[in-house]
Every structure is written in structure tokens, then in C-alpha cells.
Amino acid sequence: MSETFAADDILLQVTPRLPLEEVWNSLTRPEHLEKWLAPRVRVEPREGGAFELFWDKDGTSQNSTQGCRIVKFQEPETIVFTWKGPPRFADLMDQSPAPTQVHLTVSPCPEGIDVTLEHKGWGAGERWETARSWHFHYWEETLHRFREYVMTGELPAPPTRE
């Protein structure tokens, strides 16, 4: 009998050379998040607050993280929030309570400010591995966009999430 193991956590990092406050604000304030993460956001920066991202311009919840909440908020170093996947993974990830969480930590280092993203809570099996792989690439591209945004202050509108 073969055992099935949960997929590994996603772990990614970028290190912009900027003041801590600028980096933190770009990760937690809607006016910044709408420039690099999603076209529309609703973020209440406190434990229990909303962390909702909307990729459809019509505001439907079909392609969103509507209902996601901030689990931990320690300014200016840590924000943890629940996560819902895109529509193709809704049957796995859009349950209550949300099975996965995103952990963002910010810490000074000699090269600038380390921003570490960990996406945790993956289940076992082929569909979970497919969802994890999709999210790995999504977060890799998203952190690249974040770094470009904080370094230049400008980016075209965020890509759609499908």
C-alpha cells in the first residue's frame, strides 16, 4: 500500500533595497496592493480583518478570495491570511475554514528588506500537487511584480488569475 503525503509548503523570497516602512505599506495597504496584486482589494490590516482580492472587474466573488481573513498581524513584520484558490481549484481550496494560509514576513537584512512568502496547508494527492504547482508559479510571478512595483512605483494592471 502506498502512502500519500501532503505537498510541501511554498517558500519564496525577494529582497528590495528600500526602507522597511515602504515595503510593509506595499504589502498591507489597498492602494498599493491594487497596483501589483489584484485589480480590487479589501484589506482591513488587523487580526480578524478581511484580506479579500478580486480579479474580475465586475466584482463577482467567483474569482476572488472573498471571505479570507487575516489570522495574524504584527506590524511591520508579519501578516498571515487564509487563502482561496482560483475557480479551477475551488473544490479543494474554497472551503471553510480555508485549508491553506499565506504567511508574509518582512525583516531587515544587509542587502535590504527580506520579504518571505510561505504558502502552507497543502493536502495530499495529485489534485493538491497540481494546485500547489500552479500557486508556486503564481506566487513567483506575483513576488516579481511586487519587487518591480516597490522599486519603480509603477506597473501595468495586475494579470488576471485563472
Burial of 31 (0-12, 13-18, 19+ CB in 10 A): exposed
Residue 7 has pLDDT above 90, yes or no: no
11 close to 117: Cβ distance less than 8 angstroms: yes
Residue 156 has pLDDT above 70, yes or no: no
Q: Residues 128-154: what's their mean pLDDT?
A: 91
What residues form DSSP beta bridges with 82?
101
Distance CA 62, CA 114 (A): 33
Locate cell 479589501: which residue?
42
Task: Please report the pLDDT score of residue 135 as a whole number.
Answer: 96
DSSP assignment string, 124-139: BSHHHHHHHHHHHHHH
Q: What is the pLDDT of residues 9-61, one digit of tens each?
A: 999 999 999 999 999 999 999 999 998 999 889 999 999 999 999 887 665 66
Q: What is the pLDDT of residues 62-111, one digit of tens each?
A: 678 888 999 999 999 999 999 999 989 988 998 877 789 999 999 999 99
Give the predicted TM-score (pTM) of the model. 0.88
Task: Please report the pLDDT score of residue 1 as a whole number.
Answer: 47
Sequence-distant (6+) residues with CB within 8 A of 162 are 55, 63, 86, 87, 88
Task: Please report the pLDDT score of residue 76 as a whole number.
Answer: 96
Domains in the chain and their CATH numbers? 10-152 (3.30.530.20)
Confidence label for 130 from pLDDT (cuts 50, 70 and 90): very high
